[in-house]
C-alpha cells in the first residue's frame, strides 16, 4: 500500500512537470530560502559612458548621466522650432544639426553644427524663447537635459560650467565668422569652399583621394549657408569639380587632398 502511494506521488510530480505547472507555494518558499544571491550595487548597473569626439568631458560624469536622457532624431527631423520655450539643453553626441533663424525682414540665416555643440543654453539661462530653430541634417544623437536640472548641475560643477562656456564661445566665433563672410565682399566660390571645409571637419572621412563628407548635402542647403541662389551654387559646384577640387556623386561630396585642409591653415 505504501509503495503504491509513493509511486502515485512520483507520477503526479512528473505529470506536473510535463504540463509546465509550478510546484506548490510551500516548496517554492523552501527552495528560495535555500538559495542565496549576491547583492548588486547600483554602480554595477551603470553602463560605461565614453566621451564622443568633440564632446565636453562632463558628458561621462555619473552625476550628469543621472539627469540626462538620450534622444535620437532621424534625418530631417525638427528638434526645436524658433520661438519654442527653452525647456531643455541639448548636447550633440553624433550627427550634424542645421541651425536656422528667420529675420524680421523675411530673410533667413542658416549654419551647421557638429558633435559637441551645445544648444538651448543661452535661451534657457535668460528665460527667453529659442532664437534659432534646430533640425537634424542627418541622424542625430543628443544628451537632453531638463533646464532646471542642468542649471543646478552647472552651479554644483564649476568645471562643467567652464566647459559649456568654452563650447558656446567656439560656436559664437563660428557664427561671427559665418556672418562676416556673408556681409563682406568675399567671393561666393571662396564662401562655398570654406563651407564645405567646415562640414568636412565635422563629418568627414579621410581617404587616399581626399575627405568624403559623410552626410548628404543638397544644393539648397549650401545655397542657404552661403547666401546665394541654387542656380549660382550649382554653377560654382560644377566649376570646383572641373578644377579637381571636389568630386560629386548625387548629394555625396568628396574634397580632394589638396583642398581638404583647414581654411585657417
What is the chain's length? Answer: 265
Q: Are residues 91 and 170 in the same domain?
A: yes
**pLDDT band at residue 257, thresholds of 50, 70 and 90?**
low
**pLDDT band at residue 52, thresholds of 50, 70 and 90?**
confident
Beta bridge partners of 78: 135
Q: Are residues 154 and 101 in the same domain?
A: yes
Last residue of a domain, one of 159, 183, 207: 183
Task: Report the pLDDT value the prediction gives residue 11, as an integer from 0 to 100.
Answer: 53
pTM for this prediction: 0.64
Q: Are residues 141 and 209 in the same domain?
A: no
Last residue of a domain, one of 161, 183, 205: 183
Task: Report the pLDDT value the prediction gives residue 165, as an integer from 0 to 100.
Answer: 93
Helix locations, 75-215, DSSP H: 121-126, 147-156, 158-183, 188-202
Domains held by the chain: number: 2
- Report the C-alpha gap between 237 and 239 in whole angstroms: 5
Q: Are residues 60 and 173 in the same domain?
A: yes
Q: Are residues 196 and 160 in the same domain?
A: no
pLDDT of 8 over the 60 cut: no
**Would you state the torsion angle of the CA atoms of residues 120, 123, 128, 129, taken in this order, to the nearest 10 degrees?**
-20
- Give the DSSP letter string of 92-156: EEES-EEEEEE-TTS-EEEEEE-TT-EESHHHHHHTPPPSSEEEESS-EEEEEEEHHHHHHHHHH
Residue that is written with C-alpha cell 577640387 in the block: 245
Q: Are residues 80 and 176 in the same domain?
A: yes
C-alpha cell at 87: 525647456
Q: Which residue would you say has higher pLDDT here, 93 or 38?
A: 93
pLDDT tens-place string over residues 158-182 = 999 999 999 999 888 887 877 777 6
pLDDT tens-place string over residues 57-66 = 999 999 999 9
Rounded average pLDDT over 202-218: 81
C-alpha cell at 205: 572621412
Share of the chain above pLDDT 90, in %: 29
The end-to-end CA distance of the chain, in Å, is 99
Q: Which residue would you say has higher pLDDT here, 20 or 51?
A: 51
Flag whether 109 is in a domain: yes
Q: Are residues 125 and 200 in the same domain?
A: no
Amino acid at each position: 500500500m505504501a509503495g503504491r502511494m509513493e509511486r502515485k506521488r512520483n507520477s503526479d510530480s512528473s505529470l506536473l512537470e510535463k504540463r509546465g505547472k509550478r510546484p506548490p507555494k510551500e516548496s517554492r518558499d523552501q527552495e528560495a530560502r535555500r538559495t542565496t544571491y549576491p547583492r548588486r550595487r547600483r554602480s554595477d548597473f551603470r553602463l560605461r559612458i565614453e566621451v564622443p569626439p568633440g564632446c565636453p568631458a562632463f558628458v561621462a560624469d555619473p552625476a550628469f548621466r543621472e539627469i540626462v536622457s538620450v534622444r535620437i532624431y532621424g534625418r530631417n527631423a525638427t528638434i526645436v522650432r524658433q520661438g519654442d520655450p527653452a525647456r531643455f539643453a541639448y548636447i550633440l553626441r553624433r550627427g550634424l544639426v542645421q541651425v536656422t533663424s528667420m529675420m524680421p525682414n523675411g530673410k533667413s540665416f542658416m549654419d551647421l553644427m557638429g558633435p559637441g555643440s551645445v544648444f538651448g543654453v543661452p535661451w534657457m539661462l535668460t528665460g527667453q524663447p529659442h532664437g534659432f530653430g534646430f533640425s537634424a541634417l542627418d541622424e542625430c544623437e543628443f544628451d537632453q537635459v531638463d533646464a532646471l536640472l542642468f542649471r543646478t548641475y552647472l552651479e554644483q560643477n564649476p568645471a562643467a560650467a567652464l566647459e559649456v562656456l568654452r563650447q558656446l564661445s567656439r560656436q559664437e566665433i563660428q557664427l561671427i565668422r559665418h556672418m562676416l563672410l556673408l556681409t563682406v565682399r568675399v567671393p561666393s566660390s571662396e564662401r562655398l569652399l570654406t563651407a564645405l571645409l567646415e562640414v568636412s571637419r565635422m563629418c568627414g572621412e579621410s581617404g587616399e583621394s581626399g575627405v568624403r563628407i559623410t552626410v548628404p548635402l543638397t544644393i539648397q542647403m549650401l545655397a542657404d549657408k552661403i547666401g546665394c541662389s541654387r542656380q549660382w551654387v550649382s554653377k560654382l559646384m560644377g566649376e570646383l569639380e572641373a578644377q579637381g577640387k571636389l568630386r560629386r556623386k548625387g548629394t555625396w561630396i568628396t574634397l580632394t587632398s589638396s583642398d581638404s585642409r583647414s581654411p585657417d591653415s
